[in-house]
A and B are shown apart, each in its own frame.
Chain A
Amino acid sequence: MARPRKFDVPRGVDDIATAPITKSYFHEIAPDLSAELIEDQFEVPPRAHPVRVRIRSEVIATGAKQFRSIPYLASVRRRNADVLSKMVLGLHEYADRPDLAVYTYPLFSKSKQMLELLEAGEKEGNARLIIRMIRDTFMNGQWENYRRSDTRTVVAALIEGKLIAEDVTIADAGAVFDKLADLGFNPVGAELPAMEKDNEQEEAQVPC
């Protein structure tokens, strides 16, 4: 009886020897989008015929979508707005202190933090616009306005009414702008230096 040569495959084993090998890799993207490497190696035993090796790689993006859904970010906005509104009302304790600015700083930080949290929100643009206007009221000496009780009440009511809502519309942002302007704030932010040319025109319009 002849001895089988090396790599000779006995009858009936041929199909098994050429069956494809499948390797699967899953790349699950986490919410922090951090990069990771998957490295692997495996040996294919010697066969009589070529072996098909099938590599299957799947990217699972569910994790990356976490903490970005529209209802979730709206809930985060409302939760933080509630805190901010209470912080505004809480300023009454410090309203008469000369160092009021120090006590408005946590409100400025909270507004900034809210802007960062809502940065990924595709439907939070109007809310961010309002938060920026509120944030600006704690800048450039405008905090002095918070010494007045009506200012604190109105700003807290604006946060409560416009940011703790199902949706925030552009009309809401407009209404907040008007209210803040009525309170003596400059919701646009930092004041721009007046242009010289404009001054000249103004002067020219003044009758002699």
Chain B
Amino acid sequence: MFKDNRNRVCALVVAEFEPKVSHLGRRNSALDAAQHHMQSAIWQLSAGRAVLQSIDAQSFFLLDLRQAFFQSLGMNGWSKEQVIGTFTDALRELGVDRITKAVLTTRVFFSTGMLHAEMVDLMPGTYLAPAETLDKVVDNLDDAYVKLNGTYEGCKVALEFAPMNPQDTEASIMATNNLQLFVKNALIDSRVKDFREQMGSDPTLFVQVELSRDNLERGGFSGFVNQALTGAEVMTDRAVRHLKSLRPRR
């Protein structure tokens, strides 16, 4: 699913850890290790945080005293191995042995070929109570936003699901945090605008999957990313298929 929608998927990977004074002294070598993987020529350094921007790959890596953070717009410019290498080497150089919380989030603005009203019409009976029950609450269901919390193979999962008209899609993209880090010059760089425009004027199905795991060894982070990325793809696919009343893939 992600492979066919690479321009419609945004990803976020976070590793949170306990801050230590010693991290300050090791930060530069951690950044050096991360830069090797990110192949980033643009970096920003301030007292609290350091950022490596990979403009062409539409991604960046951020390191502060509490977390390491990777974010992308689209999935064209980066690979799972690159993310794992960046985190593993940076955390090792920083002296982080235990990750208090690891999170992987994917957001897809999926094109279903349906109109917004049609997607909303399919929500009762799949994600919501049957229409005849909902009629007791609202006269006409015009829109819906669903959030489900659960687990997937030992990871905590939060799945958010909403049909979106073109205005909603644009508002969601523009509300994404750190958009300024995907462009070289905010006044002339059109990367964010291009990301929005390639989705066209069709309605989209927004599916956000967040998988997280608490308290894991640094060595277990690569396994988490592998598992969570597969899980996010599986859950996104299941979510879309459920709306379309298709059986889950085996």
Contact = CB atoms under 8 A, between A and B. Distances in A.
A65 B244 contact: no
B247 interface: yes
Interface string A54-76: 00000000100111011110111
A78 interface: yes
Contact of B113 (A62, A67, A71, A164): A71
Q: Is the interface of B mostly helix, strand, loop or mixed?
A: loop
Interface in B117-142: 117-119, 121-122, 125-126
Interface residues of A, number: 16
Contact of A67 (B118, B125, B244, B246): B118
A144 interface: no
Interface of B: 112-115, 117-119, 121-122, 125-126, 243-247
Nearest to A80: B245
Contacts of B126: 79
A67 B116 CA distance: 10
A82 interface: yes
A72 B115 contact: yes
Contacts of A67: 117-118, 121
A75 B119 CA distance: 10
Contact of A75 (B115, B117, B244, B247): B244
A39 to B, nearest CB: 27
B128 to A, nearest CB: 13
A76 B117 CA distance: 14
A78 B115 contact: no
Interface in A125-150: none
B44 to A, nearest CB: 44
Contacts of B117: 66-67
Nearest to A77: B245
Interface in A13-70: 62, 65-67, 69-70
B125 A78 contact: no
A72 B245 contact: no
A76 B244 CA distance: 8
A99 interface: no
Contacts of A71: 112-114, 118, 244
Nearest to A69: B114
17 contacts: A62-B115, A66-B115, A67-B118, A67-B121, A69-B113, A69-B114, A69-B118, A71-B112, A71-B244, A72-B114, A72-B115, A75-B243, A75-B244, A76-B122, A78-B245, A164-B246, A164-B247
A122 interface: no
Nearest to A63: B117
